[in-house]
Amino acid sequence: MGDPSVEGVRMGALINRTQLDRVREKLAILAKQSPVVAGDPEQFEVVGANREKGAFLPPILLRNENPLQQTLSHETECFGPVSTLMPYKNLEEAIEISQLGKGSLVSTICTYDRNIQREYVLNAAVWHGRILMLNRDSAKESTGHGSPMPLLVHGGPGHAGGGEEMGGMRGVFHYMQRTAIQGHPTDITNVTNQFQPGAEQTETPVHPFKKHFDELFVGETLITAKHTVSESDIHNFANVSGDNFYAHMDATALADTPFTGRVAHGYFVLSKPPDSLSMQKRSCAPQLWPRRMPLHQAGVPGHDHRGETDGEGENRAGARSGKRRCGGHSARYRQMAGGCVR
């Protein structure tokens, strides 16, 4: 302990002398029920610094023999290098003890028994902002009890303050106002720049693949000519893909189901939009985002399909590079008979 810049020093001082006095005050309260078993707040050495001028305090370890009855350990926080050992008889008692603090930033359980891990986490989580499960598998990469990862929510309930920070993008949302927007899908699309199902779709005379990325707009729509699924399509796709599943190849296999004949391959249905939306051999294909494709709306011979693409979100970086861009649009595939496959 001492000056952290000195080789071999692993612990520095508290923030200031005022905080040192507060820790000593809380330590005196804890010592009424929990004697010190390691460390001496009066007798210790400091390396590379002046002990009298600095806010130094060595690690102190106490022992509370009866943590269920002697509650000062749960009610008093030193906020310094002070820890208390608390014995427990079984897992249930350990969970009960962990909850007596009425809120903490983090709790660590060290065990290789996954059943014990699960039971502890599910029962102790209500009073802890984070729980570290530590064992020989995770120890080498663990950040430790006091070091949360940036993508984890850091905070805790009750005595821990009830706050949250970090948590990736979730941490940013704490500094933003959230407002619900109601209205017609077209109006919400206009405000949010995110296409809403049911919003107005606008067809333009210029094929979207002939436009620069920043010329596309949300709701811009291209509807292609129809394609009628044939048995030849199914056979050809089976030969190429190797998928000879009986539902595709046997016209009577689904006789006792809602289907009345053979069914086209799902991947065949998904493969048609890029071809349908292309304007020439060398044009690029839009991104395909199948939103919902219920099994009862699978393609069958004689059903018509067409491709439809509509702008769904804001244009992204690279729009002004001068290159033709095909991103930013998503394809939806409509089954003309029997509903819409989206």
Quote the CA–CA distance of 65 and 62 in Å, as a whole number.
Answer: 10
Quote the CA–CA distance of 77 and 15 in Å, as a whole number.
Answer: 16
Give the global pTM.
0.58
Give the H or E element holding residue 308.
strand 304-311
What pLDDT tens digit does each residue of the chain (342 aa) get?
999 999 999 999 999 999 999 999 999 999 999 999 999 998 999 999 988 889 999 999 999 999 999 999 999 988 899 999 999 999 999 999 999 988 888 899 999 999 999 999 999 998 898 899 999 998 998 888 888 777 887 877 877 777 777 777 877 887 888 888 999 999 999 998 888 988 998 888 888 888 888 888 888 888 777 778 888 888 898 898 888 888 888 888 888 888 778 888 888 887 777 666 665 554 444 444 444 444 444 555 665 555 555 555 544 333 333 333 333 334 344 433 333 333
Q: What is the pLDDT of residue 95?
A: 95
Q: Are 184 and 178 in contact (CB under 8 A)?
A: no
Q: What is the pLDDT of residue 310?
A: 56
DSSP state of 322: S
- C-alpha distances in Å from residue 31, one per residue of 70, 78, 111, 227: 11, 12, 30, 83
Quote the CA–CA distance of 220 and 311 in Å, as a whole number.
Answer: 5
Q: For the chain, what is the largest distance between any 2 Cα atoms, rounded to a whole number of angstroms?
A: 93
Q: What is the pLDDT of residue 62?
A: 95
Q: What is the pLDDT of residue 250?
A: 86
| Domains and their CATH numbers in the chain | 1-87 (3.40.309.10), 90-178 (no CATH), 185-335 (3.10.129.10)
Quote the CA–CA distance of 130 and 151 in Å, as a whole number.
Answer: 12
CA angle, residues 50, 54, 58, in degrees to nearest 5: 95
Q: What is the pLDDT of residue 299?
A: 56
DSSP string, 179-201: ----S-HHHHHHHHSS--TT---
Q: What is the pLDDT of residue 57?
A: 93
Quote the CA–CA distance of 195 and 215 in Å, as a whole number.
Answer: 16
DSSP state of 67: T
- C-alpha distances in Å from residue 13, one per residue of 81, 170, 240, 324: 10, 33, 71, 60
Q: What is the pLDDT of residue 98?
A: 92
Q: What is the pLDDT of residue 332?
A: 43
Long-range own/partner contacts, residues 109-112 (CB < 8 A, 24 or more apart): 109/133, 109/134, 110/134, 110/135, 111/135, 112/136, 112/137
DSSP-H helix ranges across the chain: 17-30, 72-75, 91-99, 114-124, 169-173, 185-192, 231-241, 246-249, 266-277
Q: Are 308 and 332 in contact (CB under 8 A)?
A: yes
Q: What is the pLDDT of residue 302?
A: 61
